[in-house]
Structure 1
Amino acid sequence: MASKTLFQTTMRTARSQRFSLLVLSFLANILLLASSIYMLQVFDRVLASGSLDTLIWLSVIAIFAIITYGFLEFARRKILNRTGAWVASELSPAVIKRTISARLEHGRSPAGLGDVKDVRNFLAGDAILAFLDAPWTPVFITVIWLMHPFLGMIAVAGAIMLFAIGVLHDILTRHRASTAAMQMREVNNDAQAYVENAETLAGMGMVEAVLANWKRSRAQAEADGSQAEETSSVLYNLSRSLRLALQIAILGTGAALVLRAELTAGGMIAASIILARALSPVERAISAWKAFGSYRLASGRLERLFRMTADDQPQVSLPKPEGKLEVTDLRYFSPETKAPIIRSVSMKLAPGTLCGVLGPSGSGKSSLCRLLVGAWRPNFGEVRLDGASLSDWNSTERGKFIGYLPQQTELFHGTIAQNIARMGEVDDAAVLAAARKAGAHGMILALEHGYETEVGNFADQLSGGQKQRIGLARALYKDPSLVVLDEPNSNLDGTGELALQQALVKMRKAGQTVVVVSHVPTLLRHMDKIAVIQDGTVAAFGNRDDIMRDMMAKGRHVTAKSASQAAE
């Protein structure tokens, strides 16, 4: 039997409130009969007897019942609101973590925080109340039947017709609504991507073009959604009209029965009120069906997300590695297209070795970096650090021993000190040591607020080179055993380039194993080993001088051949 996912466990806990809600719903719906009983007694007893005392006591009892009903209704909504908030607080961190894992392992995530929001909105909304009250419809109809079978038949026919409208509503709107929701989700994601890449769009005059495309996509999504909304609106209004017509029918029938002395005037009024209570949950359920549809789709997506990503299992904490790196027959395929990205990579680096990685664009250098730090999991082969596979550590433990600087350096919302400390507890001494080692200490102090400068996705006061130097400090935080730098000098000026070279010298002295993707000769001269990647394969690997000599020889041969062909 498959184990329960965190999503299933959380939802099961949330559903444990059902008993309390059912008890409260039972009491609330019983108290809803108070107004009907009051009307019945006033018309049939008070007006007939002319007793003012009876009227006063009936009024007091009815008011008490209504006030009690108000408290019960408040309790129901409070339980639902707190349940929805609890589910969101339990699921949100796990969903973010699993979305990251799914993005790395499968290329995309089937769910996100928007789905958690849909689940919360349903659990805390009126839809649940409508569904809780719906089972009491037969009870109210039975009460009407006991007043007179003709009235009961009208109530039964009305309930059947409203139920049929609800089923028709689901059949006609479910597919359209789900398709429109998915399309709108993609449209909103596109809009967010445009905002995040505002500089590129504005700088190249692409704003109007992308907005035109976005408007077309949004219009299509809106059109599909509008069709579902219009269908839902028509059916909802039909149900409301039908309910009003049924009340007229039951009043008219009741009046006829009063004239025939088969029903009292109080019974006629009470039957009309009870019918409204009986059919109200069915009508509300139709209007709440959209929320239920969103909840159902969101639950399915979240369940897929939790099924496709595994929980971190408790593992023995391994000691800090010395930095011995072994890569054996490493292969990696695109999660979406299944095209090979890394075909075969094998190499060994002793602790304290600096290895440069060369290769043309698209050869797989950046992909290799992601595999070396454990961000991606290889399809075949393995990466070992001091004999232990990277999978032998959970990501938090492994991250303490690995430093990584990607091509695009992203700083997260917080201070520079928090970013260098990898958004954990800030160790002042370690932050300063990492910044000095990366040659970023003076640059950071030159900022107005120094290490307390706020940065993030939209903090534009830092240049690309400054972000890259802070990213290097983050990679060097607490002297990790393995450091992987992907084009670490792509945004650096002369000062930053010199600081990077000095950092490489310090890393060698500290015995750290370093892998650097670069084409800059001044950086390559610090390397001990060179790996040449071509089409996802290691074309050459060895000592720096030997590899550079072979490359220069091949370069001269190609140049001579080209010159000879030109002379001919």
Structure 2
Amino acid sequence: MLVPTFYMLQVYGRVMASGSLTTLAMLTLIMTGLIITLGSLEWIRSRIMVRVSTRLDVLLSRQVYKASFKRALDSGGMDASAQSLNDLTGLRQFLSGNGLFAFFDAPWLPIYIAVMFMFHPWFGWVATGSALLLLLLAFINEKLTGPALAQANKEHIGATLYTTKNLRNAEVIESMGMLETLMDRWGHRQRNVLLLQAQASDRGAIVSTISRTFRILVQSLILGLGAYLAVDHQVGAGLVFAGAVLLGRALAPIDLIIGSWRGFIAARSQYGRLNDILDKQQAQPERMSLPAPQGHVQVENLVVAAPGSRTPIINNISFSVPAGCVVGIIGPSAAGKSTLARALMGVWVPLHGVVRLDGADISAWDKDELGPYIGYLPQDIELFEGSISENIARFAEVDSVKVIQAARTAGVHEMILQLPDGYDTVIGSEGLTLSGGQRQRIGLARALYGSPRLIILDEPNSNLDEVGDRALVAAIQQIKQSGATLFVITHRTNIVSQLDRLMVMNAGVISLYGPREQVLAELAQKHQAQKHAMSAGATMASVKTSKGDADEPYDAQSSN
């Protein structure tokens, strides 16, 4: 980095004085070799940083992905965002960009200043004062732009997440004419982002302009100082230009740091958010592999709340289901049926109590090992971008025999064959759009893939027509024959005949549970009792009304 300066000194001090072209040629050759070496080292540094940033991404990407997934899971989907992965990408780009190199070059500043003092003390003091002033400007830049940029980044993340959630409900927004209202709300957030970014940019531009102007000014002034010292015979003519070149080289990293400060602030925020999400990600201990489950489910004193809440949705319930049993869960809306389904799979962690599968706490199972033995069809069916066969196979290695078997069991094989590319039909943003019933039936096939031992179907016929209902009943019959344990949450009565046991939930507790016929008989008795009570109440009210009408004298004036 000092090569151009010393080359200039030697040219002015030796070549110009001696007129030796040989000396000039040798100096030029040496200078060229050193500059090429410098360029090679900078190229190597760039490649190293690219590989370091890539290695960082490779090491952290899976952890960040898992942490983002866990955060979304713990929040019940309310904090579902890929922002952490975007932060990792932004940090990688900063590490491999030119902005970081300014920080690498900054430690050379004391060496440059020391050389300037060797040239002449006044050169050294000018360099020291200039560096201190630029450092002060960098500090002022941080104070002026840092908070605004950090807040702007936060607002931008919120606006992006808001937009993403709205886009997921595009049909609802379009059908009910909500677009303009939601756009206004998004526009308000976006205006805040633009305002904060504009404030930070305006302030940063002032500091950056002052920095560049001062740098140009001081480089010109040092030429004047050098000329004065040369006229006074305190320095040679070569030092006049060498001092200016070296000062520019010394101040360049600080000026570049100020110019790239916005990127540094963004990278610092990204690092902080990544550090935060990874710190909250607890290391999962290695769990001993357990035997393949048979499907015996025990629930003991279970209390469950939504993620992030302490208000119970399910309150102190206990029951047992033997392996191979088909249990229907019925009850009014908000009774806790879907919450129970999530707790049975270990997706929602209970506040109290335990769910056991074959005697082991469901949380003690390794999720990757347990997953193939669990089948789940949620109310809101989400199929992922890819082929239908990949979706049914849960994006593991596609076993065509198992895929077709699951599709046949779900009664969806013929429907899939009628699609443009059959099982290879791509769905998602770049593929075919399926109807609600088609998604539900393919989701059922996914739940049945690989012969799971515990299957939970949440409103499996909510989008089905008569053909789909018949296919669902046939699927339940085949599940019973396979010996898997099945929970079916439903409001329809057409599958009640296929149930072994029936559970009635109300307000987070189990009001009835037992063999199907016994529970249906008790429900019928309760319904009959309620009907008699209502009939008796209506009769009493009618008698009182009639008596009141008979006892009350006729008031012609009031009737008028």
2:194 maps to which of 222, 231, 241: 222
| 8 Å contact from structure 1 (residues 250, 271) kept in 2 | yes
Deviations 1:434-479 (A, max 9, x none): 1111111111111121111111356443111111111111111111
2:64 maps to which of 67, 75, 95: 95
CA distance in 1, matches of 2:188, 2:315: 40
2:383 maps to which of 407, 411, 418: 411
| 8 Å contact from structure 2 (residues 306, 348) kept in 1 | no
CA distance in 1, matches of 2:529, 2:70: 47
1:314 maps to which of 286, 289, 292: 286
Residue 35 (1) aligns with residue 7 (2): no
Deviates more, 1:100-109 or 1:300-309: 100-109
CA distance in 1, matches of 2:63, 2:127: 48
| 8 Å contact from structure 1 (residues 412, 457) kept in 2 | no
Evaluate the alpha carbon distance shift between residue 265 and residue 342 of structure 1 in structure 2; reply closer, same or farther with a 3 A threshold.
Answer: farther
Deviations 1:138-180 (A, max 9, x none): 1001111110111111110011111111112222222221111
2:89 maps to which of 117, 121, 124: 117
Determine the structure 2 residue equivalent to 1:80.
49
1:275 maps to which of 219, 228, 247: 247
Determine the structure 1 residue equivalent to 2:548.
none
1:155 maps to which of 117, 123, 127: 127
Evaluate the alpha carbon distance shift between residue 242 and residue 343 of structure 1 in structure 2; reply closer, same or farther with a 3 A threshold.
Answer: farther
CA distance in 2, matches of 1:214, 1:418: 36
1:475 maps to which of 433, 439, 447: 447
CA distance in 2, matches of 1:189, 1:102: 14
Q: SS state of the match for residue 293, structure 2?
A: coil
1:200 maps to which of 172, 187, 197: 172
Q: CA deviation at 1:227?
A: 1.2
Q: CA deviation at 1:565?
A: 4.6
Determine the structure 1 residue equivalent to 2:395.
423
| 8 Å contact from structure 1 (residues 109, 305) kept in 2 | no
Q: SS state of the match for residue 541, structure 1?
A: strand
Evaluate the alpha carbon distance shift between residue 106 and residue 194 of structure 1 in structure 2; reply closer, same or farther with a 3 A threshold.
Answer: closer
Determine the structure 2 residue equivalent to 1:335.
307
| 8 Å contact from structure 1 (residues 416, 453) kept in 2 | yes
Residue 462 (1) aligns with residue 434 (2): yes
Q: CA deviation at 1:529?
A: 1.5
1:58 maps to which of 27, 34, 40: 27
Q: CA deviation at 1:564?
A: 4.8
Determine the structure 2 residue equivalent to 1:379.
351
| 8 Å contact from structure 2 (residues 289, 366) kept in 1 | no
Determine the structure 2 residue equivalent to 1:3.
none
Q: CA deviation at 1:495?
A: 0.8
Deviates more, 1:74-83 or 1:102-111: 102-111
Q: SS state of the match for residue 356, structure 1?
A: strand
Evaluate the alpha carbon distance shift between residue 38 and residue 512 of structure 1 in structure 2; reply closer, same or farther with a 3 A threshold.
Answer: same
The one-letter amino acid of 2:193's match is A
Determine the structure 2 residue equivalent to 1:240.
212
Percent identical pairs in the alignment equals 38
Deviations 1:85-116 (A, max 9, x none): 22112222221122112222244379621121
Determine the structure 2 residue equivalent to 1:528.
500
Across the aligned residues of Structure 1 and Structure 2, the Cα RMSD in angstroms comes to: 1.8
CA distance in 1, matches of 2:429, 2:373: 26
Determine the structure 2 residue equivalent to 1:393.
365
CA distance in 2, matches of 1:51, 1:430: 86
Structure 1, gaps ≥5 residues long? 1-31
| 8 Å contact from structure 2 (residues 230, 240) kept in 1 | yes
Deviates more, 1:183-192 or 1:54-63: 54-63
Q: SS state of the match for residue 317, structure 2?
A: strand
Q: SS state of the match for residue 180, structure 1?
A: helix
The one-letter amino acid of 1:127's match is G
Determine the structure 2 residue equivalent to 1:349.
321
Instruction: Provide TM-score, normalisation by structure 2.
Output: 0.92
| 8 Å contact from structure 1 (residues 411, 457) kept in 2 | no
CA distance in 2, matches of 1:563, 1:124: 80
Determine the structure 2 residue equivalent to 1:447.
419
Q: CA deviation at 1:249?
A: 1.9
| 8 Å contact from structure 2 (residues 343, 349) kept in 1 | yes
| 8 Å contact from structure 1 (residues 106, 336) kept in 2 | yes
